[in-house]
Chains A and B, each alone.
Chain A
Amino acid sequence: SGLMVSCVAVAQHVHTGDGQYPCRVSQVSQLAAALWLWAWYFLPFSSASVPQLTNSPTLIVMVGLPARGKTYISKKLTRYLNWIGFPTKVFNLGQYRRDAVQTYKNFEFFRQDNKEAMQIRKACASNALKDICIYFSKENGQVAVFDATNTTRERRVSIVSFAKEKGYKVFFVESICDDPDIIAQNITEVKVSSPDYVNCDKEEALADFLKRIECYKQTYVPLDDEKDRNLSYIKIFDVGSRYLVNRVQDHIQSRIVYYLMNIHVTPRSIYLTRHGESELNLLGRIGGDSGLSPRGHKYAASLGSFLKGQNIKDLKVWTSHMKRTIQTAEHLGVPYEQWKALNEIDAGVCEELTYEEIQEKHPEEFALRDQDKYRYRYPKGESYEDLVHRLEPVIMELERQENVLVVCHQAVMRCLLAYLLDKTSDELPYLKCPLHTVLRLTPVAYGCKMENIFLNVEAVNTHRERPVKQKGENGLKPSINVVNFLNLCLIPAIWGGGGGGGVACCHIVLS
């Protein structure tokens, strides 16, 4: 309470200062930022909406012959883990090899008896592990995915002892597949166009790659039921028709297993769109639960025609529980499912206000939001970070499904898009998701192809750009006086530079 009193006192002092509004805001926000920083250092809690349930870093080790989907899985898993808030990075051994051996000649490099190549490959593995160390100890990484064949027991044993030494947990992901069609498809999709085969035609590349696989087959020892019974792993058979899971140690491994068991490679498209323009959109107000404007209805009708034209097989349509998405879906003439989880971000006390009104009534909140839009939580409302956690079951079900149209809202669509396009939490709140536009996302190779389709019905623009940081007066360099409280003590928080400091959760601080 002493904290609150002095905060209010300072705020009042600042308010009655010169009438320069931006300066006032920045000073109060600096104070709030300083308080937040103080709180971050001294209070025993994390500011995320879900507790951070890992202690030791986790090393995920891929296992499998070439063209078994290891890199596909690595990248997808990494994208998912980053999105749900676990800093994760892929370390692809092929990349290290390409950096070491500038030009790839042919499969002979991978022959078991090619001693020189073996040395290089071992050195690359060693470098990758070193980089993993740095990622964990210096870059705050929590999960590293070691993407390589790791097909011999010897190699795996050395990785396990490396991890044990450093205190990392190890989780193996093995992909086993003997279906020649799937393998051929993989090679065509991602190998033929790899930098290794930049000067070859398709047939040459295919033939060489198949010989490459043969090189590994001779020494391939899959994870064994008996010998490896003390390791933690998941074995994926035939692109997911069967799984063997052994010794899941903790929360993150359990989540990884659940995710891997829900993804598939069947071709499909995901359509994302916002509801049609709403009455509140027209008034420039955020949130609320209004109906569609006439243009919004027009858009919804166009959306219906567009979908019919696309001739999509077995399309599922999802909406939120809010009137505007449901009204939009009503025009489509197909069954739809309502998800509460798809509701727009709750703006709490700012619901149904215009940005001008927010600036007027809650200027410090408005500033804090601009400083860290991802983590900022509206008083009595939510943050983008909260949204991501709310949307995780939607993502999981999107992974399970095939063709889906999601009719949602601006902040929600940004979160879903960030997941599908691997955007950082920094970029996420500023992704452009205009009204009356359908985004069609089709998984291709290791990523997602995106088509942007504007359905030719005008609408207001609801996008607020990231504000530009002014040098000098808005620089984050406050000197807060040391104030003594009965039980607490405030330390001067001086930090330099205009870096995007993580400032958020003002109401938690005041608590």
Chain B
Amino acid sequence: MRDHLLAVRSEKAPCQTTIAEAIMSSREVGPSNSASPRELTQNPLKKIWMPLPCKNGLPEKHISQRKVCMTNCPTLIVTVGLPARGKTYISKKLTRYLNWIGVPTREFNVGQYRRECVKIYKSFEFFRPDNEEGLKIRQQCASAALNDVRQYLADEGGQVAVFDATNTTRERRQTITAFAEQNGFKVFFVESVCEDPVVIAENIVQVKLGSPDYMNCNTEEAMEDFKKRIECYENSYETLDEVWDRHLSYIKIIDVGRRYLVNQVQDHIQSRIVYYLMNIHITPRSIYLCRHGESDLNVKGCIGGDSGLSPRGREFAKYLGKFIESQDISDLKVWTSQMKRTIQTAEAVSVPYEQWKALNEIDAGVCEEMMYEEIQQHYPLEFALRDQDKYRYRYPKGESYEDLVQRLEPVIMELERQENVLVICHQAVMRCLLAYFLDKTAEELPYLKCPLHTVLKLTPVAYGCKVESIFLNVDAVNTHRDRPENVNIHRTTEDALQTVPAHL
């Protein structure tokens, strides 16, 4: 009824009447009787509205930024599985992903602790179940690792710890669960089960033969020894059981992702972890990252905007097409943003392409289409704040790198699902994607070098990513601005513009 009345009022005459009435009636309303709402102030770096501290000086606890890990409890992820089942691969990849989306995560590899304790590895005999001395050392290493886990989660602000070890006996897992309960950590098990001899042999070749343990062995010796090592674990291996372990939270990955068993997911972060683990694969493939060809605004030294390619940019696009053809890539997917310059670039590559709005360049808000010199002139404070913390700094009415990462998460998830992909994007976007693949920190990310007319070919190998940089021999302006020495808000214009690259 009320809505109807309001609607009728505004239909009779345009906004004016409603405004007048509104202003009049708002004068009639007394001042808010709730003394509790706090004054808001906008944080100058991140442009986030925050309440001013309470009068009695207590820090505000009332609000929080939406972070991924909204639990107060830290989470302990525990891997489970025989050797060469991909536990370390999963640990490292998961850690990399969680850190990238902003969840402080660290992995603790018990094998590493063992290598530090027992300087020289002799043979598989160390792992025999009847080797009492070996068992003692291994137990100590596990305890040392758990100790470090506690310190990381309780004292160092870590939110997730990945405890990477075989953890193949129920007894060991019970110890860990008790430890977690004692310390107020949530536990999530990730078990990898695989009986395919081909996959296991491939794992051993890729990561075990090159391990410090087998530095002085040849391939056959190492293979033999490692296989015997696995056998030491096999007899006492108790897999996570549907009935016995029905109260534990876990995911069981079977045959490298053909099948998953998921039990008792407790919270948001575990749900995200499960989703991620269910989307990754190990099929060999390559990811090609490049920026659009040089654009007209690039040439002028302006940031942002939606301009087309310059003549050199068009030439790059042609060469890109030829390069892709020469690579003879099977089933290549091409992705672009929805900005003209990436689409024009893709047009030259004669493969169908898909546009993602999420791949659009960082929104520079009020600074769109300005040169750095103009930003310094009109917004010197903003310019300095950006240099102080380039990752978290949000342009007024724009975005930050931190926002970009959140925006790009579905792109990363789909990249994990796909095989051969060429992503034609923009400088800030490419930096974010690159930081994910090469495990760069938030501090390094905004300064990664992503020059125009250069293709980066990323190929997953062992536990990381091989990078090949291919410059396609078409000149372009440099758009990379290093962090200047002086980031003080009162610095001179000269100091501020010290690192601006040359342009027209």
Contacts and interface: CB of A to CB of B under 8 A. Distances in A.
B3 interface: yes
A340 interface: yes
A45 B29 contact: no
A254 B279 CA distance: 7
Interface of B: 2-3, 6-7, 9-10, 14-15, 18-19, 22-23, 25-26, 29, 31-34, 36-38, 40, 42, 47-49, 51, 61-66, 70, 242, 246, 258-265, 267-268, 271, 274-275, 278-279, 306, 335, 338, 340, 343, 352-358, 368, 397, 403, 406, 410, 414, 417
Interface string A299-331: 011001000000000000010011100110111
19 contacts: A44-B353, A45-B353, A51-B355, A52-B354, A244-B260, A250-B417, A282-B23, A283-B19, A294-B29, A297-B37, A321-B49, A326-B40, A331-B36, A338-B64, A356-B14, A356-B15, A461-B18, A507-B306, A508-B338
A477 interface: no
A129 B279 CA distance: 31
A109 interface: no
Q: Is the interface of B mostly helix, strand, loop or mixed?
A: mixed
A474 interface: no
Contacts of B397: 351
B414 A251 contact: yes
Contacts of A277: 22
Which 5 A-B pairs have CB atoms at the shortest separation, nearest pair first? Answer: A51-B354, A49-B357, A284-B15, A330-B37, A461-B6
Contact of B51 (A229, A247, A330, A334): A330
Nearest to A351: B397
B335 A51 contact: yes
A335 B265 CA distance: 25
A432 B47 CA distance: 31
Given A321-B48, A326-B49, A461-B3, A389 B357 contact: yes
Contacts, number: 189
Contacts of A49: 338, 356-358
Interface in A454-511: 454, 458-461, 463, 507-508, 511
Contact of B263 (A241, A282, A293, A338): A241
Nearest to A339: B66
Given A282-B23, A327-B37, A461-B10, A454 B2 contact: yes
Contacts of B31: 294
Nearest to A262: B271
B61 A254 contact: no
A442 interface: no
Contacts of A94: none
Interface of A: 44-46, 49-53, 229, 241-248, 250-251, 254, 257-258, 261-262, 277, 282-284, 291, 293-295, 297-298, 300-301, 304, 318, 321-323, 326-327, 329-331, 333-341, 351, 354-356, 380, 386, 389, 397, 400, 432, 434, 437, 454, 458-461, 463, 507-508, 511
B271 A242 contact: no
A32 to B, nearest CB: 17
B53 to A, nearest CB: 13
Nearest to B47: A321
Given A44-B353, A248-B278, A283-B19, A511 B340 contact: yes
Interface centre among B25, B64, B261, B403 (most CB of A within 10 A): B261
Contacts of A242: 242, 246, 261-264
B263 A335 contact: no
A339 B63 CA distance: 11
Interface centre among B48, B260, B357 (most CB of A within 10 A): B357
B32 A282 contact: no
A331 B138 CA distance: 56
B62 A261 contact: no
B40 A400 contact: no
A449 B268 CA distance: 26
Contacts of B62: 330, 334-336
A251 B70 contact: no
A298 B29 contact: yes
A480 to B, nearest CB: 23
A193 B476 CA distance: 71
Given A331-B34, A341-B66, 10 more contacts: A244-B262, A251-B417, A282-B19, A297-B37, A327-B37, A330-B51, A331-B37, A337-B66, A461-B3, A461-B7
A434 B258 contact: no
Contacts of B33: 301
Interface centre among B7, B34, B356 (most CB of A within 10 A): B34
Nearest to B305: A380
B137 to A, nearest CB: 37
B49 A45 contact: no
Given A323-B49, A337-B66, A460 B279 contact: no
A243 B18 CA distance: 55
A464 to B, nearest CB: 10
A341 B410 CA distance: 14
A303 to B, nearest CB: 11
B36 A434 contact: no
Nearest to B34: A301
Given A44-B353, A298-B32, A330-B51, A340 B66 contact: yes
Contact of A326 (B61, B63, B417): B63
B44 to A, nearest CB: 14
A153 to B, nearest CB: 19
A297 B39 CA distance: 12
Contacts of B355: 45-46, 51
A297 B31 CA distance: 9
B461 to A, nearest CB: 25
A460 B306 contact: no
B391 to A, nearest CB: 15
B37 A45 contact: no
Contacts of B268: 397, 400
A386 B356 CA distance: 11
A294 B278 CA distance: 50
A241 B49 contact: no
A355 B2 CA distance: 23
Contacts of A356: 14-15
Given A44-B352, A458-B25, A434 B66 contact: no
A33 to B, nearest CB: 20
A384 to B, nearest CB: 13
A300 B38 CA distance: 13
Contact of B357 (A50, A282, A355): A50
Contact of A261 (B34, B246, B265): B265
B295 to A, nearest CB: 13
Contacts of A246: 258-260
Contacts of B38: 330
A507 B339 CA distance: 10
A356 B16 CA distance: 11
A288 to B, nearest CB: 10
Given A51-B354, A282-B19, A461-B7, A294 B26 contact: yes
A120 B29 CA distance: 68
A46 B357 CA distance: 11
Nearest to A293: B26
A237 to B, nearest CB: 9
Contact of B32 (A247, A250, A297, A338): A297
A458 B25 CA distance: 8
Interface centre among B7, B268, B354, B414 (most CB of A within 10 A): B354
B316 to A, nearest CB: 19
A284 B23 CA distance: 12
Contacts of B246: 241-242
Contact of A460 (B18, B29, B66, B357): B18
Contacts of A321: 47-49
Nearest to B15: A284
Contacts of B7: 461, 463
Contacts of A291: 40
